[in-house]
Structure 1
Amino acid sequence: MNYTQAIFYLVLLCLLFNCDELMGQKNDSSPSKDRFLGWAVKDPIDIAKATDRQDLEALLVAGIGIVGISAFDYRSSDYFRSTFGNNDFLGVVNELGNLNYVAPFSAALFGTSLLTDNHKFQDAAFTSLQSVLYTKITVTIAKYAFARDRPEQNTDPYVFNFFERNATSFPSGHASNAFALVVPWVVYYPNVLTYSMLALPVGTALARVSKGRHWISDVSAGALIGAYWGYKLSRRHLNLAGAGNFHAVPIIHENGGGISLTFSF
């Protein structure tokens, strides 16, 4: 990680959270740090067990939406490359999704949180790290299963080789990593500032398309996966149940499309 990238992540951290408040806040109770191991082991099993008909219907709708968005992949790719190909902001936030930066950053943030007495901060940092790791596993499996060619490999957006190692376009790892990193902090500290920081992973997704690395349906699916893990894990760790919902609504227009993500608490 070079100096510019280190400064970027430091600024990201300080903008996402009030650092003084987080580092200084103390909690009366002292939960055991064993909870992190318990979460890591139990969360995938418990989330799978809790999957109901509504979840499956939402997955079906999201899948249909991604298929619909893919109909505009070529047109949207051409539009974003010609319009935002040299955008400086997108060039910076593109690195937000690089796992070589995201994984060590989230791990270091979690380690730093253990030096504080702020258990909420610890939980948020662990959940963000966990979300990144689970997202990586999910995306790796999906990439291998779909084996879609990247725009730079093939100008035809509908080439899927299925179960081939050299085609890794769908879904976007950068987009999924960026959303997995940021969404848990939004759930733990919901306010105008943290919601506005969602512009960063959105920028990452757009950067991947504008640089010709992904189709718009790739980044839409990636954003959905990262946001899903970040949201589900956060609500579980916060013991929130019932009213909260995670909605993904496809958006399609003449220049392409995407996914509108809505969180309710």
Structure 2
Amino acid sequence: MRTTALLAVFYITGFFSYAQNSIEKDSIAIDTVKNITFSYKQLIIPGVLIGYGVWGIESGQIKSFNFQIRNKITDNIDQKVSIDDFSRYVPAVSVYALNAFGVKGKNNMRDRSVILGTSLIIMTTTVFTLKNVTNIERPDGTSNDSFPSGHTAVAFAGAEFLYQEYKDVSIWYGIAGYTVAVGTGLFRLYNNRHWLTDVAAGAGIGILSTKIAYWMNPYITRKLFGSKEIKSTSYIMPSYNGRQFTICYFKTF
């Protein structure tokens, strides 16, 4: 029942996003795309998170701390919960839901979809590369692809995306997104699927992936659409088949 309800939210969100764009077509020149300016200060938080996670791969002291945290969190757990399988997508989907209900963000549908797509490509490539290279065993012993946490990376990439799009409207949208992302990371620990270092690194990778996507967006947009005005309709529709979650990007001219 919970799965059905969440899927309904995803599809309704996608429908509203499409309906809104069918009525109000995106028409914007490339030089009006709103991005964030690169600053070394923006690398501090994701850098610290990723650094801590990587350091924990070889540090015996941090490994010991991982076990202590795992034992405290998972002690007396009777049943695992699967909310983290869905909560990771909430921040990113919220950007489209807010826009569908009339709360305008920083960028239009086309540009923010390019930004999100770029972020997901960077994040996914980084996560799966590190999983294959490090071969860290999961706390529950089920596999050797624990580092970093992909769920957490998706959640924090979406949280940073939500923050960047709506920070000028209200800082509370970003706070809400990051709260959901932190909760997703905690549930990965609670379900005994990841170590604390996995979650920290995943969070850093997610945040950094979205920041890079914003920095790269002027170049990517110019390559994809040129420098003249283009009228188009585009939207992202999430889908879930019971085992895998996919995000489909649709575009019409």
TM-score (norm 2): 0.58
Q: 1:199 to 1:146 in 2, by over 3 A?
A: same
Q: 1:61 to 1:204 in 2, by over 3 A?
A: closer
1:128 counterpart letter in structure 2: L
Looking at structure 2, the residues matched to 125 and 55 of structure 1 have their Cα atoms a distance apart, in angstroms, of 22
Q: 1:31 to 1:183 in 2, by over 3 A?
A: same
Q: 1:62 to 1:95 in 2, by over 3 A?
A: closer
Tell me the residue number matched to 2:7.
Answer: 6
2:217 counterpart letter in structure 1: H
Is 1:201 the counterpart of 2:199? The answer is: no
Is 1:65 the counterpart of 2:52? The answer is: yes
Looking at structure 2, the residues matched to 10 and 127 of structure 1 have their Cα atoms a distance apart, in angstroms, of 21
Q: CA deviation at 1:216?
A: 0.9
TM-score (norm 1): 0.56
Identity rate, percent:
21
Q: CA deviation at 1:130?
A: 2.2
Deviations 1:164-205 (A, max 9, x none): xx5100001111112223321211211212321221121111
1:7 counterpart letter in structure 2: A
Quick one: which of 152, 155, 161 aligns to 1:178?
155
Mapping of residues 50-61 of structure 1, within 5 Å: 61=48
Q: 1:61 to 1:137 in 2, by over 3 A?
A: same
Tell me the residue number matched to 1:30.
Answer: 28
Q: CA deviation at 1:94?
A: 3.4
Looking at structure 1, the residues matched to 47 and 3 of structure 2 have their Cα atoms a distance apart, in angstroms, of 42
Tell me the residue number matched to 1:252.
Answer: none
Tell me the residue number matched to 1:169.
Answer: 146
Deviations 1:207-249 (A, max 9, x none): 111001111111111111011111221244379xxxxxxxxxx
Tell me the residue number matched to 1:43.
Answer: none
Deviations 1:41-81 (A, max 9, x none): xxxxxxxxx998x8998887545533365441101111222
Is 1:145 the counterpart of 2:137? The answer is: no
Is the 2:46–2:207 contact (alpha carbons within 8 Å) kept by the matching residues of 1?
A: no
Instruction: In structure 2, list runs of 5 or more residues that go unmatched.
Output: 57-61, 220-253
Q: 1:238 to 1:201 in 2, by over 3 A?
A: farther
Looking at structure 2, the residues matched to 205 and 85 of structure 1 have their Cα atoms a distance apart, in angstroms, of 19
Is 1:78 the counterpart of 2:66? The answer is: no
Higher RCO structure (Cα 8 Å, ≥6 apart): 2
Q: CA deviation at 1:87?
A: 7.7
Looking at structure 1, the residues matched to 164 and 43 of structure 2 have their Cα atoms a distance apart, in angstroms, of 23
Is the 1:209–1:215 contact (alpha carbons within 8 Å) kept by the matching residues of 2?
A: yes
Tell me the residue number matched to 2:229.
Answer: none
Where 1:212 maps in the other structure, the secondary structure is coil
Looking at structure 1, the residues matched to 69 and 25 of structure 2 have their Cα atoms a distance apart, in angstroms, of 49
Mapping of residues 116-155 of structure 1, within 5 Å: 120-153=108-141
Is the 2:116–2:210 contact (alpha carbons within 8 Å) kept by the matching residues of 1?
A: yes
Mapping of residues 184-195 of structure 1, within 5 Å: 184-190=161-167, 191=170, 192-195=172-175
Q: 1:57 to 1:5 in 2, by over 3 A?
A: closer
Where 2:83 maps in the other structure, the secondary structure is helix
Where 2:192 maps in the other structure, the secondary structure is coil
Q: How many residues align?
A: 193
